[in-house]
Structure 1
Amino acid sequence: MKKEITNLIKPVDYFIIGAGIMGLTIARELKKRYPHKAVCVAEKEAEVAMHASGRNSGVLHAGFYYTSDSLKARFTREGNKAMSRYCEENGLKINKCGKIIVANDEGELAGLEELKRRGDRNGVELIWLSAEEARKMDSNVRTHIKALYSPNTSSVDPMQVCRRMQVENEQNGVEFLFHTIYLRHDNNRIFTNRGVYECEFVINAAGLYADKIAHDYGFGKKYTIIPFKGIFLKYNKNKSDVVTNIYPVPNLENPFLGVHFTKTVDNSIKIGPTAIPVFWRENYSGFHRFNAREFIQIIYYQAKLFRKNAFNFRRLAFEEMKKYKKKHLIDLSFKMINQLDPKGFDGSLKPGIRAQLLNKETLELVQDFVLEGDHQSIHILNAVSPAFTCSIPFAEHVVNEIAKKQEANSRNRSTYQVKGYRYLTRSGR
């Protein structure tokens, strides 16, 4: 009987949970470094990028929003170049339309100044424009006195990118396991609804469920995921009323950039996203995929945030809930432009849900990437926006960390230190 069970266990070197952009780029990087290693990607859905990766705005950010000591600053700057190069080399769509950040009033000019300082520190090109220069670039732009222009902000088709990476990975020998749900683990054995896998190393890139899997391994205990829904409205009257991405000055104390205009790869215009708190992790619409346990847990933390008003959560929640009203969302966008036909917005695009990490001890939203792990597993607890832009250099960083942990474990298996003396283990004799 034991022999039969052993025969059913499938061996693999690297087992990746999640086929979003993180899982795809990590698989790609592992195969580049270790072409003879067996890599498989387990995904609970029917195809790649069914959640945040395939539902995001598609904007390749330049990297000026973030403090210079953050991983986001580095990976966004490098990722913008890397993803642009990937699209060009693979014949994928890219719209190098740039971005203008506008100020509504005198008070927001200080925010523009801070963005310029961050851009300079991060080595990201930002150009000052007068209000007149901004209007020459896009006649519909409205700003107070001046604006900032980011020439390196672009738009791509995220699903096209993810599907191309799937094909590339499959050509390089990566195995994809769709409709495959992680259930539990026992040391280096992974139990799924479609079989048991014995692996050398596990990479948790499960997005909305990354914290739950990490907790099962004993990591990320002080964190939980709080989901926020992003809704976009498409402008269908024409593609010419706005010619570049137009963004407001953001509140840099939270990770949301505010309602803005996005130019897509085909030059279409859309506004959004919202950052509406929702009540379970895949709460896209109605009671679709309702989960009672998640509902209770998320309501509990939202109530704590509301009661203590952490990061002004009360105001954020009220302001975001108003955005369910189409007219209110459109009115917010009109602060950045001179004229647009409000009747041109005739429906919502597919919503996305941001997996935002919350520190349960401090009740703070974590604004940078968070990795935890050991010699057997690594967990991407916070692949926070702009994770899509950051994905290629971030994958290199993750694989570097895996290599360090595996090398350290290899050394520890052969030697260990006791009171300053070195001893050989049995495996090292």
Structure 2
Amino acid sequence: MKRYDYVVVGAGIIGLTIARELKSRWKECSVCMIEKEPDVAYHSSGRNSGVLHAGFYYTADSLKARFTRDGNRAMRDYCEKKGIQINRCGKIVVATDEEELKGLEELKRRAERNGVELLWMEEEEVQRLDPNVRTYQKALYSPSTASVDPIEVCQAIKADNAGMGIDMRYSTKYERFNGGVVHCDSGPIGCRYLINAAGLYADRIAHGLGFGKKYTIIPFKGIYLKYAKNKTDVVTNIYPVPNLANPFLGVHFTKTVDGSIKIGPTAIPSFWRENYKGLENFRLDEMISILIYEAKLFFTNSFNFRKLAFEEMRKYDKSRLIQASLKMVKNVDAQGFGNFMRPGIRAQLLNRETLELVQDFVIEGDNRSLHVLNAVSPAFTCAFPFARHVVDQMETLNN
């Protein structure tokens, strides 16, 4: 049985950057990553929009406000250094009426408190940037918002990690951790310290070691629809004013790294954790547990879950998803959309006691293990500074 100083569970963007940070900080330490899939970024990290967010949606006292702002710069710098393509297309947040202008004003206040560049634009200025954008009186423009290919980024970090001597064990499923041994389906691995970055299953691993007991993960399915007609009808990312009471940003136009256009995502409550398509990856125990919590949310109507569930489920109908997007643009062909793209699942943490969605990063641990319970969106953007924070917390717990 080979022994390591650190074993990281999960090879998404968070696990990859944590392992990288460990080896960067302590070059002599031994690090092993275990991943139940045959390669990195099989789930959220490889299925997200690829948008590098700027950090103006979040309250100044939140971890994700700081990590998004700093992570945007760090990820852009990393991509430039590695020759990874970036689409620096920016983002316009539009309003549809007087009430939504107040929402824009709140976003502008948050941007100023967070130290994020966010610019007011009158309608005429918006038209010069993207003639197809429809807004009421004015809009907000984020010049630092950009798009990358998330799988390309994860593969680059994977290559970095291999070059640093980090061992990668794929198709290796975590079972339990005790007595300094990580038990996996492929055999035991000796381990001084365990870091749980298992995404959709992070809560289950944490519960097995006595952490995160008041939390559970509720999965939400995000689906995008590709605009197949051309790549030119939309020039920039176009977002609506979000409902800041929940963590979902609403249906929007995304410009991908190759200039393609897509709309989405949905936030459809899922029935099991990897509920991507049909009965694929079906788990009865997961479905029963999730349905119990979704029923509680439905009957208590916590964070207006009832309306959210009905509205999002209807977006399985392509025409409804398209209609939700058209209010933000002047002239996009409703018949020009193609097929649904590969769906993603958001691992959204729920506080079981308050029945509220947790909207910031949550880490728990001790001197044997540390658990990333909520790598909340936009975790991809936040990855580099968040990884430093995780390792800082681990150091604190071990002193």
Same fold (TM over 0.5): yes
Task: Tell me the SS of whatever aligns to 1:243.
Answer: coil
Task: Give, in whole Å, the separation in 2 of the partners of 1:329 and 1:322.
Answer: 8
Aligned to 1:417: none
Q: Tell me how far 1:178 sits from its aligned partner.
A: 0.3
Shift of 1:106: 0.9
Deviation at 1:187, TM superposition (A): 3.1
Q: How many Å separate the matches in 1 of 2:395 and 2:112?
A: 33
User: Deviation string for 1:61-85 (max 9, x for gaps)?
Assistant: 0000000000000000000000000
Trace 1:325-404 onto structure 2 (pairs within 5 A). Answer: 325-404=317-396
Distance of 1:256 and 1:293 partners within structure 2? 27
Report the Cα offset of residue 213 of structure 1.
Answer: 0.1
Query: Equivalent residue for 1:262?
Result: 254
1:312 to 287, 290, 304: 304
d(CA) in 1 for partners of 2:179, 2:115: 43
The match for 1:210 is: 202
User: How big is the shift at 1:405?
Assistant: 1.7
Match of 2:89 among 78, 97, 117: 97
Give the corresponding residue for 1:63. Answer: 55
2:44 counterpart of 1:49: no
TM-score with structure 1 setting the length: 0.92
CA distance in 2, matches of 1:294, 1:247: 33
Distance 1:198 1:359 in 2: 33
SS at match of 2:37: coil
Structure 1 residue aligned with 2:241 = 249
CA distance in 2, matches of 1:175, 1:198: 13
- Alpha-carbon distance between aligned partners in 2 of 1:273 and 1:204, rounded to the nearest angstrom: 27
Residues in 2 aligned to 1:389 and 1:144: alpha-carbon distance in whole angstroms = 29
Alignment of 1:284-299 (within 5 A): 284-299=276-291
Distance in 1 (alpha carbons) for counterparts of 2:96 and 2:265: 19
One-letter amino acid of the structure 1 residue matched with residue 68 of structure 2 = T
User: If the length of structure 2 is used for normalisation, what is the TM-score?
Assistant: 0.99
Shift in Å, 1:34? 1.0
1:133 equivalenced with 2:147 (yes/no): no
Task: State the Cα deviation string for residues 204-237 of structure 1 (Å, max 9, x = none).
Answer: 0000000000000100000000000000011111
CA distance in 2, matches of 1:311, 1:57: 24
Structure 1 stretches of 4+ moved >6 Å? none
**Which residue, out of 219, 227, 234, partners 2:219?**
227
Q: Using the alignment, how far apart are the partners of 1:237 and 1:84 within structure 2?
A: 29
Out of 6, 9, 13, the position equivalent to 2:5 is 13
- Structure 1: how far apart are the matches of 2:396 and 2:268? 39
Cα shift readout 1:378-404 (whole Å, capped 9, x = no counterpart): 000000100000000000001111112
- Deviation, 1:188, is 1.8
**1:188 aligns with one of 180, 185, 198:** 180
In structure 1, the partner of 2:68 is 76
Report the residue type matching 1:27 in the other structure.
A
Q: Aligned pairs, how many? A: 399
Q: Secondary structure, in 3 states, of the residue corresponding to 1:109? A: helix
Alpha-carbon separation, structure 1, partners of 2:180 and 2:271: 33
Alignment match of 2:100 (pick from 103, 108, 132): 108
How far apart, in 2, do the equivalents of 1:387 and 1:172 lie? Answer: 24
Which blocks of at least 5 consecutive residues in structure 1 are unaligned? 1-8, 409-429
What is the root-mean-square deviation in Å for CA atoms of aligned residues?
0.6
Instruction: Report the Cα distance in structure 2 between the residues aligned to 1:68 and 1:163, rounded to whole angstroms.
Output: 32
Instruction: Give the aligned residue type for 2:48.
Output: N
* Structure ID, larger Rg: 1
Q: Please give the alpha-carbon distance, in whole angstroms, between the structure 2 residues aligned to 1:71 and 1:315.
A: 28
Once residues 12 and 363 of structure 1 are traced to their aligned partners in structure 2, the CA distance between those partners, rounded to angstroms, is: 39
1:346 positional shift: 1.0
Match of 2:111 in 1: 119
* Structure 2 residues without counterparts, runs of 5 or longer: none
Residue type of the partner of 1:402? M
What is the CA–CA distance in structure 2 between the aligned matches of 1:31 and 1:10, rounded to whole Å? 18
1:94 partner SS:
coil
Give me the whole-angstrom Cα distance separating, in 1, the residues matched to 2:347 and 2:397.
26
Task: String of CA shifts for 1:269-296, please: whole Å, max 9, x gaps.
Answer: 0000000001000000100010000000
Name which of 268, 273, 283 aligns with 2:265: 273
